[in-house]
Chain A
């Protein structure tokens, strides 16, 4: 199942998605290597979050190909798709914690459904995951009792529960104060080093993305406007790229 031979964990080719008459993604092609972190930047409503939902199969594309761990996910049935999803962790923009479950139960949720761990093993694993994100003192709290930054940490612990090879982050630092945003950024760098996962990070935060990504992709009007390292994009002569980076640096 690990597909060790393949260099790329995610391969997207000519991806297209429209909502009604509005084309959100118009022929996107993107590859993510094993252990690589790619930041996807772009204006609000530019299709960045849609790209993540297409990668994990929450939405169906109108055209193009999406290969995750060498599986063409657009052609998988529900059970096969779920097998691929077990290898992906997804941190949602608003964390999307189950509000009827405690912090501990939120993190235990995927473990109780996809592993045969005993209660003690599962509890230890949940403690370990929450300790990794600095939330092991709030096990019994409900999501409504913790702050937005803490919810994102718990969401991250839940995304890591099945030890995924790929992590998808949807605006991990949006709506957070600069200190908490920096802490989440540091957490991503720490996890990247510790777990050696591939990651796609959708963000507006140019400097945060520079800290934790190996490569950046800038989306504009449904297409990739620029691609490369932070320095490559900062030195670009393209008007949109220059404008995006000048505003992003303020």
Chain B
């Protein structure tokens, strides 16, 4: 949350210095703040319409399945690769530190806990923000500027139900599943990296790693990733559907979808970790 005032100040300062001349920063800061409040206001109205459209029948199950495929299965290789890389790096870095402190035996548990509780969810959230956020922002933005969304409304089809609700629900369903894949690849590659330095059987590695894990340890990360999915879906659909200004606007929407959904995923992570620690200790 500390980053937001810094961003406001940076944007205000760059606006005030635009054109090489120092302009009065007060109206620039005021316009920027009005823009920020307008954005949140529009987001609130967008969410209200989204909830209404998502909850009232008929439901677009066919389109939901198509979006689950587009968001889930097509993100799978990238998420698996990112998870595997995290596992390798975590194993190499942590091993070095634990050896120094004479706690090498804890390595499997550290890798498993770290990946399941934090690294897996946040890496998956950020990867999906990049791949899916850009895709949704650009697709909906392009549909907006080419009047396809207007055409849908003119056909008496609610675009919030057909385009937005399906994408948001697909994100909520797919991000936790992708996180499971990312975790699996991370733990597997963590073991592989570890066993290359000091051979250990996979079974023993997993037994040591999961020995102290309880069922309640799995619930918060799953809830967290579902919230990441909700955040990515809402922010990127919102940025896409409010696109203005032709192809340039589509580019802006794609970029802002990625930037804002990544930023909100990180903010959500901070808030959720605090909440999880309060609730589950």
**Which of A's residues lie within 8 Å of B, judged by CB?**
53, 56, 58, 78, 82-83, 85-86, 88, 90, 92-94, 96-99, 109-110, 113-114, 158, 162
Contact = CB atoms under 8 A, between A and B. Distances in A.
A223 to B, nearest CB: 25
B243 to A, nearest CB: 15
A64 B156 CA distance: 23
Interface string B124-161: 00000000000000000011001110111111111000
A98 B151 contact: yes
A118 to B, nearest CB: 16
Interface of B: 142-143, 146-148, 150-158
Nearest to A111: B155
A90 B150 CA distance: 10
A-B pairs, 7 with minimum CB distance? A96-B151, A82-B156, A85-B156, A96-B147, A90-B154, A110-B155, A86-B156
B154 A94 contact: no
A109 B155 contact: yes
B147 A92 contact: yes
Nearest to B151: A96
A58 B150 contact: yes
Point out which of B150, B152, B154, B158 has the most chain A C-beta atoms below 10 A from its C-beta.
B154
B154 A56 contact: yes
Given A99-B143, A99-B148, 11 more contacts: A53-B150, A82-B158, A85-B153, A90-B155, A92-B154, A93-B147, A96-B150, A98-B148, A99-B146, A109-B157, A110-B157
A86 B153 CA distance: 10
Nearest to A100: B139
Contacts of B147: 92-94, 96
B148 A113 contact: no
Contacts, number: 52
B148 A97 contact: yes
B135 to A, nearest CB: 12
A110 B142 CA distance: 21
A88 B154 contact: yes
Nearest to B149: A96
Contacts of B142: 99
Contact of A83 (B146, B152, B156): B156
A92 B152 CA distance: 11
Contacts of A53: 150
A85 B152 CA distance: 11
Contacts of A114: 156
B155 A96 contact: no
A90 B155 CA distance: 8
27 contacts: A58-B150, A58-B153, A85-B154, A85-B156, A86-B156, A88-B154, A90-B154, A90-B155, A92-B150, A92-B151, A92-B154, A93-B147, A94-B146, A96-B147, A96-B148, A97-B148, A98-B148, A98-B151, A99-B142, A109-B155, A109-B157, A110-B156, A113-B156, A113-B157, A114-B156, A158-B151, A162-B155
